[in-house]
Amino acid sequence: MNLLPQGGSADYVVTGAWSQKAVKEAKRVGTVKIAASTEAESFKRIPKQGELTLDPNAAYVHITTNNTIFGTEWHYVPDTGSVPLVADTSSDMFSRPIDVAKHGLIYAGAQKNLGPSGVTLVIVRDDLVKRTPPSLPTMLQYSVHAENKSLYNTPPVFGVYTMRLVMKWLLKEGGLAAIDKKNARKADKLYAEIDRTGFYRGHAQTDSRSRMNVTFRLPSEDLEKRFAKEATSAGLDGLKGHRSVGGLRASIYNAFPEAGVDALVQFMKEFERKNG
Ligand SMILES: *Cc1c(COP(=O)(O)O)cnc(C)c1O
């Protein structure tokens, strides 16, 4: 609503459920062109730069940097030329360093890595703030929030305060460089176990694997059900995959401890030994 001028068009890269929803909403405002989609491949990968059909006259290019349901993540920032890149980074924000300068707008709901739900972090380039059409309702204008230092209304202070505590924790842990290493270590351990024998099968293509949501299948749906049930009994909760993919999903956001990953890997080994 803020970036798409009347009669304008925007490019969307469709890599999962959140980008599909973004497309649906953008269509209410203007023309949407699909720059690439991996839907035909069950969203198991992120398209390569060469696969993106980009319109040089687009108002912006929209991507979703991490796809929670399918367990894929962008491992490069696409080159969009002079067209601003807009990224929904809700589920991997602050899990690794991010090159802000390569983006026109970054937005992230707080509820994955940043803090409680109810807060959205937005980083927007000065020249793009000026695009806001004055016809938009005041509360929806980015320019109003920017001019008022996010205090045009009373913001959700509890959520913002909690985010401050999380940011202080993150800095104490060593900041983005340190959490990046820790997240890589956590994900690598899980993917190594998935790849160890072939009993487990990763949903995402190797080069597109998410470090936040690790999705995998077992040889049968029956075993998947048993795995989820026994894991829950062992204190490893929430492993059932999203219904649109099936299988299992381990969400290992910043707050998830490495010891939890180690426990899951042990459980996976044991489960395979008994059922493989
Ligand atoms: C989680 C998520 C959202 C929205 O989350 P809600 O919990 O439904 O508010 C949007 N985009 C991405 C990329 C997400 O991971």
Atom of ligand 1 nearest to the CA of 111: 7
Given a cut of 90, whether residue 6 has pLDDT beyond it is: no
Of 3, 203, 17, the closest CA to residue 85 belongs to: 3
- Full-model pTM: 0.96
> With pLDDT > 90 as the criterion, what percentage of the chain qualifies?
97
Pocket test for ligand 1, best of 90, 211, 249 (most atoms within 8 A of CB): 90
Atom of ligand 1 nearest to the CA of 89: 13
Question: With a 6 A CB cut-off, is 74 part of the ligand 1 pocket?
Answer: no
List the catalytic residues: 18, 88, 112
Alpha-carbon distances, residue 90 vs 12, 119, 273 (angstroms): 17, 11, 37
Q: Is 173 helix (H, G, I), strand (E, B) or coil?
A: coil
Given a cut of 90, whether residue 162 has pLDDT beyond it is: yes
Gap from CA of 74 to ligand 1 centroid (Å) = 16
Q: Which pLDDT value is given to residue 99?
A: 96
Q: Which pLDDT value is given to residue 129?
A: 95
pLDDT per position as a tens digit, 67-125: 999 999 999 999 999 999 999 999 999 999 999 999 999 999 999 999 999 999 999 99
Pocket test for ligand 1, best of 15, 72, 91, 213 (most atoms within 8 A of CB): 91
Q: Which pLDDT value is given to residue 59?
A: 98
Round to whole Å and give the CA distance between 164 and 175: 13
Given a cut of 90, whether residue 127 has pLDDT beyond it is: yes
Q: Which pLDDT value is given to residue 193?
A: 98
What average pLDDT does this structure show over 243-253?
95
Atom of ligand 1 nearest to the CA of 64: 13
Given a cut of 90, whether residue 252 has pLDDT beyond it is: yes
Q: Are 213 and 81 in contact (CB under 8 A)?
A: no
Q: Which pLDDT value is given to residue 22?
A: 98
Query: What is the residue-averaged pLDDT of the chain?
Result: 97
Of 250, 79, 99, the closest CA to residue 180 belongs to: 99
What average pLDDT does this structure show over 244-271?
97
What average pLDDT does this structure show over 125-149?
95
AA letter at 127: D
Contacts 24+ apart (CB under 8 A), 140-143: 140/1, 140/2, 141/2, 142/2, 143/2
Q: Which pLDDT value is given to residue 271?
A: 98
Pocket test for ligand 1, best of 19, 68, 95 (most atoms within 8 A of CB): 68
What residues does 251 pair with on adjacent strands? 213
Q: Which pLDDT value is given to residue 149?
A: 95
Round to whole Å and give the CA distance between 16 and 203: 13
Q: 41-45, 181-185, 241-245: lowest mean pLDDT where? A: 241-245
Question: With a 6 A CB cut-off, is 68 part of the ligand 1 pocket?
Answer: yes
Q: What is the CA radius of gyration of the chain?
A: 20
Q: Which pLDDT value is given to residue 244?
A: 87
Contacts 24+ apart (CB under 8 A), 36-40: 37/13, 38/14, 39/14
Element (H, E) at 62: strand 61-64
Q: Are 202 and 44 in contact (CB under 8 A)?
A: no
pLDDT per position as a tens digit, 200-223: 999 999 999 999 999 999 999 999
Round to whole Å and give the CA distance between 15 and 264: 27
Atom of ligand 1 nearest to the CA of 91: 15
First to last CA, the chain: 52
Q: Are 183 and 254 in contact (CB under 8 A)?
A: yes
